[in-house]
Amino acid sequence: MLQVYLVRHGETEWNVARRIQGQTDSPLTEIGLRQARLVAQRVKSQNITHVITSDLGRTRQTAEIIAKACGCEVQLEPRLRELNMGVLENRELNSLTPEEESWRKSLVDGTPNGKIPEGESMNELSARMRAALESCLGLPAGSRPLLVSHGMALVCLVSSILGLPANSERRLRLRNCSISRVDYQDSPWLASGWIVETAGDITHLDMPALDELQG
């Protein structure tokens, strides 16, 4: 059985400002750095062998703190990037027009083929996130990888493992520096392949985590 840990990056300045990030970057806040240190302390006893991260700055900051605690090198994986939010990146939520808000909502309310202009569809996001996860199957026997990614991206990945369409209504919350785990296994009581062991665990955090904001 292969166990893969999934961690969302720590709180960022744009999370606090309620600004849409997507693939545009924003540094971690002091709270975000603390969250990263707390998640590192939580996982350092789990024999993590690989820390693999989205190449965006906020995930790299988080991953470097985790990797140091686990004694691993950081490996960059662009397929773990957040959803490209197109023309809405760098926009504050309260500045969106009704039409722009409808574009944003189409990503989470089950709209078929929902997509922001110049952005990425949920189907495209799902395909690359699943490909990044599947690549873990090629790691040496006994590996225990940890992937650092983003809110929309990780929700899409976990939902796909549960068999939900990429554009299904979003019903899963993964807060900053939450931990999820997915396993690749063969069990007489579960479907063969990837299964969700845990999702969105924040018991290691010592303060309330902000709700996620696209990224």
Taking alpha carbons only, the member of 82, 83, 87 closest to residue 97 is 87
CB 26 within 8 A of CB 45: no
How far apart, in whole angstroms, are the C-alpha atoms of residue 191 and residue 187? 7
Instruction: Yes or no: say if 151 and 8 are a contact pair by the CB < 8 Å rule.
Output: yes
18 is in an annotated binding site: no
- Active site amino acids: 9, 82
Ligand-binding site membership of 58 (annotated): yes
To the question of whether residue 14 is assigned a binding role by annotation, the answer is: yes
Q: Is 200 annotated as a binding residue?
A: no
Is 85 labelled as part of a ligand binding site? Answer: yes
How far apart CA 101 and CA 96 sit, in angstroms, is 6
CA distance 152 to 26: 16
Residue 113 annotated as binding? no
110 annotated as belonging to a binding site for a ligand: no
Q: Which residues are annotated as a binding site for substrate?
A: 8-15, 21-22, 58, 60, 82-85, 151-152
Q: Which residues are annotated as a binding site?
A: 8-15, 21-22, 58, 60, 82-85, 151-152
